[in-house]
Amino acid sequence: MKTIWAVFKKEGLDTIRDRRAIISMIVIPMFIFPVIFGGLGFFAIKEVRKAQNKQVIIGLVQPIPENAVVSALRETEGFTVTDLEGDVDPFDQVENTKIDAVIVFESDFAEALEGAGAGKMTLYYRSTGNGGIMRSRIMSVVNDYRQEVRESRIQSLGYSMDFINPVDVSFEDTATQQEQIGEAVGGFIPYIFIILCFTGAMYPAIDLGAGEKERGTLETLLTSSAPLTHILMGKLLLIICSGLFAAGLSLTSMGFAMLSMGSMIGEFASTIGPMLQPLNIILFFSLLLPLTILFASSLLTLSFFAKSFKEAQSIISPMVAVIIFPLVFGMMPWVKLSYVTALIPILNISLASKAIFSGNVPWGPVVVVYVSLISFAAIGFVACTKLVGRESILFRS
């Protein structure tokens, strides 16, 4: 026990003094959520709002029928309407002048509307950028007018609107809001935590195995009278702590990000908030612990197998892809936690956390998830101590 603690303390000190490890363990987990929420969320919302409030310049090509739809466009706030000569090229106007959209009316627009026909108009606009938002702003004015005309035409025939709307459906969603969000975000949150946990453990693992070989300190370690298993356990303990620390730190930073940016992204924060109850977080981290032990054991084994730091990096980096695949698979809405999926590591924690965060935990499969993860952790740990003790791995060069 003393040896394990001594190794743990030394490796901890060594890791804390290592700038590269600090980046993967502290800096990235600390900033990833503020960047996702703040950077993407905040700017996306800001852009949409900007587009919604932008003064849109609409050009109407003469001849312009003076009827209700045109006057509605002229009067709507946020629109500036200018009249254009009949011979302008609408395409050129949108592309090369300040005008955002051009409307060309067919010559019989007014007559068709007054009769029982449809007035034809063409809207020229640019769909890229925020063009979609602008189009729907213009269309909402047109649609209001449409609805008005539709109603008066139906009424003049002596019918009600139900005449053209024969089946009236209303929807009642039995899924609670937490369940809906749990499904949408529940797969995404653990995805980030697990990746960060892995990358947080990755750097120390490479340094503690392959780094030891590369520096030539492995031999001195092996000639000490401390048993190899104790040395490995000390190292594993540090790698596990690094992984969990990175995941825990990202959780804290997510909390702070939500508190500080709550006002800007209020809707998102208030929907995620109820998911992050203490019990859910404890459940999730208790699942993450055995998975981290499995990660640490496999990482340390591969790291000791590698001849050098570089080789260890090139062996271990592709493992991120191996982890991402089951996580992405677990994010699919049709993949559910069952007694079968509960057996597959990584996929099972993704599915279990989806269930946990959406509030209805299927305890049977969740217990299987625990059993599966703990068994994998135990197998990983035993394999690590057995494999690393081999001469062919320790002295592979």
Partner 1 sequence: MIEVEGISKIFKKAESKKQKIYRTAPKTTFHALDRVSFSCQPGRIYTLLGPNGAGKTTALRIIASMLKPSEGTVKVAGIDINKDPRQARSQLGFLTGSTGLYDRLTPRETLKYFGQLHRVEPDVAQKRIDELIERLDIGDFADRRVGKLSMGQTQRVSIARTLMHDPQVIIFDEPTNGLDILASRTIIDWIRECRTIGKTIIFSTHIMGEVSLLSDDLGVIHKGKLCYNDTFENFKAEHGEHTLEDAFISILEGAE
Q: How far apart are CA 314 and CA 325, in angstroms?
A: 19
The least distance separating partner 1 from the CB of residue 242, rounded to whole angstroms, comes to 15
Q: Which is nearer to partner 1, 226 or 374 (CB)?
A: 226
Q: Which is nearer to partner 1, 229 or 375 (CB)?
A: 229
The least distance separating partner 1 from the CB of residue 302, rounded to whole angstroms, comes to 19
Q: How far apart are CA 362 and CA 342, in angstroms?
A: 11
The least distance separating partner 1 from the CB of residue 294, rounded to whole angstroms, comes to 27
Does 107 engage in binding with partner 1 (CB under 8 A)? no
* Amino acid (one-letter) located at 236: L
The least distance separating partner 1 from the CB of residue 10, rounded to whole angstroms, comes to 5
Q: Exposure string (b/e) for 30-49, b if CB count within 10 Å is 16 or more?
A: bebbbeebbeebeeeeeeee
Does 317 engage in binding with partner 1 (CB under 8 A)? no
Does 397 engage in binding with partner 1 (CB under 8 A)? no
Among 224, 252, 260, 314, binds partner 1 (CB under 8 A): 224
Among 231, 249, 269, 366, binds partner 1 (CB under 8 A): 231
- Residue 223 vs residues 146, 218, 228, 372, 388: alpha-carbon distances, Å: 88, 9, 10, 37, 15
The least distance separating partner 1 from the CB of residue 201, rounded to whole angstroms, comes to 19
**What six digits make up the tokens of 90?**
């609408």
Minimal CA–CA distance to 33: which of 177, 195, 179, 183?
195
Does 221 engage in binding with partner 1 (CB under 8 A)? yes
Spell out, one character per residue from 164 to 203, where the chain touches partner 1: x when CB under 8 A holds, - when not: ----------------------------------------
Q: Which is nearer to partner 1, 62 or 217 (CB)?
A: 217
Q: How far apart are CA 384 and CA 229, in angstroms?
A: 9
Tell me the number of residues near partner 1 by CB under 8 A: 25
Among 86, 117, 129, 227, binds partner 1 (CB under 8 A): 227
Q: Exposure string (b/e) for 85-107, b if CB count within 10 Å is 16 or more?
A: eeebebeebbeeeebbbbbbbee
Q: How far apart are CA 93 and CA 101, in angstroms?
A: 8
**What six digits make up the tokens of 121?**
């108009």
Among 71, 140, 220, 314, binds partner 1 (CB under 8 A): 220
Cβ distance 137 to 125 under 8 Å? no
Q: What is the SS3 assignment for 57?
A: strand
**Stretch touching partner 1 by CB under 8 A, among 95-103, 118-126, 334-342, 389-397:** 389-397
Q: Are strands 101-105 and 79-84 parallel, antiparallel or unpaired?
A: unpaired
Among 36, 81, 149, 222, binds partner 1 (CB under 8 A): 222
Spell out, one character per residue from 18 to 47, where the chain touches partner 1: x when CB under 8 A holds, - when not: x-----------------------------
Does 14 engage in binding with partner 1 (CB under 8 A)? yes
Residue with tokens 């062919």: 392
**Stretch touching partner 1 by CB under 8 A, among 160-168, 178-186, 222-230, 336-344:** 222-230
Does 2 engage in binding with partner 1 (CB under 8 A)? yes
Phi, psi of 151 (to 5 degrees): -60, -45
In 234-355 the beta strands, taken as DSSP E runs, fall at none
Sites for partner 1 among residues 274-293 (CB under 8 A): none
Q: Which residues here bind partner 1, judged by CB under 8 A?
A: 2-3, 6-7, 10, 13-14, 17-18, 215-217, 219-227, 231, 391, 394-395
